[in-house]
Amino acid sequence: MQSRPILWTFRRCPYAMRARLAIHSSGLQVELREILLRDKPTEFLATSPKGTVPVVDVGGRVIAESRDIMLWALAQNDPENWLDMPQTGHDLIDTSDGPFKTALDHTKYAVRYPDLDPIAERAKALDFLRDLDARLTITPFLLGPQRRMVDIAILPFVRQFANIDRAWFDAQGLDGVARWLTAFTRSERFAQVMQKYPPWQSGQDQVLFP
């Protein structure tokens, strides 16, 4: 019998990153199975036919979306009150997961979209970051003085966007976003969820997380 939920993950994936962050905050212990996207185990593909991470297997119940994994973990234990946020927080996550992520991909992987102008796509992403920056010049976090789920759901994607061209990003005057992002990437929790693990192989000892 499966004793713990299984988390299939890929360290650098921002979706998997935010799932690990929520699980870490909840204190819920899972069996972590790191995979290589270029060499996906058959056991992983049997759980996730789409072949995407993160995926949680809870005794045969599969949770295949990172946002749902966050909600699942925090619904069981939410010691930092990340779920205590208004609808505005969910709306910001919707925008991040939708238009912002689309513009991010069109910028980062511009060669895949020859019919699109990467400069125009980057400008679309910047519009969202300016909205975040307006919030972060007033309060330390997106919805006030305390970190909420919205911060953790969005930060991995802002980090990904910033790293496309860090010199350009740093020149945009997004002081609030830069402070927020720096505090996140220098935190002990970020270091813990970004720990490197060897790719999972059948028969190996369990890797427990956190």
Domain range annotation of the chain = 6-80+191-209, 87-188
Cβ atoms of 92 and 150 closer than 8 Å: yes
Q: Under 8 Å CB-to-CB from 153, ≥6 apart: which residues?
A: 18, 67, 70, 93, 96, 97
What is the CATH number assigned to the segment(s) 6-80+191-209? 3.40.30.10
* Residue 144 bridge partners (DSSP): 141
Instruction: At 185, list the tokens.
Output: 């990437």
Q: What is the pLDDT along the chain (210 residues), one digit of tens a residue?
A: 458 999 999 999 999 999 999 999 999 999 999 999 899 999 999 998 889 999 999 988 999 999 999 999 999 999 999 999 999 999 999 999 999 999 999 999 999 999 999 999 999 999 999 999 999 999 999 999 999 999 999 999 999 999 999 999 999 999 999 999 999 999 999 999 999 999 999 888 899 999
In eight-state DSSP terms, residue 68 is: H
* Distance between start and end Cα atoms, the chain: 21
CATH architecture of the domain 87-188 equals Up-down Bundle (1.20)
CB of 209 within 8 A of CB of 23? yes
b/e per residue 28-48 (b: at least 16 CB within 10 A): bebbbbbbeeeebbebbeebb
Task: Return phi, psi of residue 142, to 5°.
Answer: -65, -30
Query: What predicted TM-score, i.e. pTM, was given to this entire model?
Result: 0.95
